[in-house]
Amino acid sequence: MATPEGEVASAKACNKTKTPLVLSSWATTSNELIGAAAPDSVKVYQVYTSKIHTVNADIWARVKSSGFSALALTTDTQLLGKRLNDARNRFSLPYPWRMENMAKYMEQGEETNVKSKGGSGLAEFVKTHKNNEIGWDVVPYMKKVSGLPVWAKGVMCADDARIAIENGVDGIYVSNHGARQLDTTPATIEVLKEIADEVERVCKEKGIKKVPVWFDGGIRSGSDVLKALALGADLVWIGRGVLWALACEGQTGVENINRILNEELKEAMLRCGCYSLEDIKKKKILYEKDELLFARM
C-alpha cells in the first residue's frame, strides 16, 4: 500500500545494500518473487499458521526452495488485536493487491484480497483461515516438516524466552507487534535486557550453544540500533522507517534508509569508543537514569 512495487522494492533495496529481510505470510508479494529479487540477502519468513496442515507444509517447502533460511513463528497473535481504526474504516486491501502466498490454496471463488464485510477485512480473514490453537509443541513439528530453523517472534518476557528454548526454538525474536496486539504493552527496549540475560542463563544451564536474540520496535536512528545491541540484541530489524521510505522514494528510499542507519550507527559507535560490534557489548556503554537510557560518550 506504500508503493506499487511493494515488498519487491524492499527486497531489491536489501539485496543492493546487503541487508537481511523478513517477509510476512500475509505479504502482497509471493515468496518466489522475493527470492528472485533478493538472491544475495538473508531471508526470513514470518509464519502465521493455516488451519490446514498441508497448506503449511507446502508453503514452507516453497519458502525453502525460494532461498529463505529461517522461519519466524508469530507467537503473539493467537488472537488478532482489536484494531479499532481498521474496523471503523472497514479496512480492505486496495485492488489489485491480495495475499499472494495464500492465493493458490483458496477454494474457487474465495477471495484473498481481504475485503471488508462490515468491519476489518483483515480480522475477518484471520478468523476464517488462521490457526489460533497452536502451542509450543508446533516448534519441533515446523522444524521437521520445513527443514529450516525456527525463531519465536513476539517474545516479551524472560519466562517465555526460557519456555521457547526448552521447546527447541533456534532463536528468540523480541517484538511487541508494533504495540498493536495489546494496549499498554511495554516497549521492547524495556524488556530486551532481561530477555537477553535469561537466554544466556538458559544456554549455560543446558550446556547448549548460544541462542541468538533478534529485536525490533521503535528503531528510528543508528543510536537506537546501538542501544539495542548494547542491551543484548544480536540483530536489529526495522519496519516503520521502511514504510516511510517506500512511500517517499520506493526502492531508492529503502536503500537510503539502510545507508543512513548504518552511517549513524558507525558514528555513534565511534563516539562511544566502540570499534567493533563486540565492543558495544563488552564496554557496557549504557547506563540508566530516571528510566531513560544514555550512552557513555
Q: What is the dihedral of CA 190, 196, 199, 205, to 10 degrees?
A: -110
**Contact call for residues 113 and 98 (beta carbons, < 8 A):** yes
The catalytic residue among 64, 153, 177, 227 is 177
Q: Which residues of 18-46 are buried (b: 16+ CB within 10 A; e: fewer)?
A: ebebbbbbbbbbbbebbbebbeebbbbbb
What's the rounded Cα separation, in Å, for the pair 257 and 139? 34
Residue/partner pairs of 243-246 with CB below 8 Å, 24 or more apart: 243/2, 246/2, 246/3, 246/9, 246/10
Dihedral angle sign, alpha carbons of residues 66, 168, 170, 44: positive
How many Å apart are CA 21 and CA 38, to the nearest integer? 9
H or E element, residue 12: helix 7-17
Is 177 considered catalytic here? Answer: yes
Residues 34 and 287: their CA atoms lie apart, in Å, by 40
The length of the chain is 297
Cα gap 112→106, rounded to integer Å:
7
Which residues are identified as catalytic? 177
